[in-house]
Amino acid sequence: MNEKILFTDKEISDSLDVLAKELDMYISELPKDEQDKVIFIGLLCGCIHFVSDLTRKIKSDHKLDFIKASSYLNNKRGDLTVDMNIRSIKDNHVIILDDICDTGITLNSVVTKLSNDNPLSIKTCVLVNKNIPNKKHIPDFKVFDVDDVFIYGYGLDYNEYKRNLKDIRIKIDW
């Protein structure tokens, strides 16, 4: 398979240093008595390496939980399924972590569902944001921007494989 590395592991790691500082700053600007009420919620499976690497660079105290959300089947969009079996987020500042925001349908749907639990706030943070028109959600924090291309590696799958790549790649002979 002919492929090209879009973002190297070094580029990803350096960018996560910057994002972690940004998130620490955001948390430090919350009201003092709410700074220990921060919960990161990762959207499995794509978020795994992003969550693991990012949260270990964040200095602020926080809780961590996961939701299983999936919408792709064989590289094509299927029905969105969201498993909301998580701890209570009531009176917490929620920061949702996902691998990529494409149409924004997934994040829009997860934010709507989580809002029902009366959190203090909900922010979204993604590793990659796709620049496409008519997005249903614009992430509050992001690391990389890409055009409307299919990418994989570093948690992002290629037909369920390739999540273990340390970098992010794009196939160049479709």
Q: Which residues are catalytic?
A: 102
Q: Please, which of residues 28-87 interact with ligand 5GP by CB under 6 A?
A: 46, 71-72
In the complex, what is the shortest distance from the CB of residue 111 to ligand 5GP, in angstroms, rounded to a whole number?
A: 12
| Distance between CA atoms of residues 22 and 137, nearest Å | 20
The least CB distance from residue 101 to ligand 5GP, in Å, is 5
Q: Is 99 exposed, middle or buried (0-12, 13-18, 19+ CB in 10 A)?
A: buried
Nearer to ligand 5GP by Cβ, of 60 and 71: the residue is 71
With contact defined as beta carbons under 8 Å apart, do 97 and 41 qualify? yes
104 contact choice in ligand 5GP, Mg ion, none (CB below 5 to 8 Å, kind-dependent): ligand 5GP
User: Binding pattern to ligand 5GP, positions 78-117, x when CB under 6 A?
Assistant: --------------------xxxxxxxxx-----------
Q: Which of residues 150-169 bind ligand 5GP (CB under 6 A)?
A: 150-152, 156-157
144 binds ligand 5GP (CB under 6 A): no
168, 137 Cβ separation under 8 angstroms: no
- Residue 167's nearest CA partner among 152, 147, 157 is 152
Find out whether 89 and 114 touch, Cβ atoms under 8 Å. Answer: yes
Which of 124, 135, 139 minimizes the C-alpha distance to 42? 124
Q: Which residues bind Mg ion (CB under 5 A)?
A: 46
Contact positions vs ligand 5GP (CB under 6 A): 46, 71-72, 98-106, 150-152, 156-157
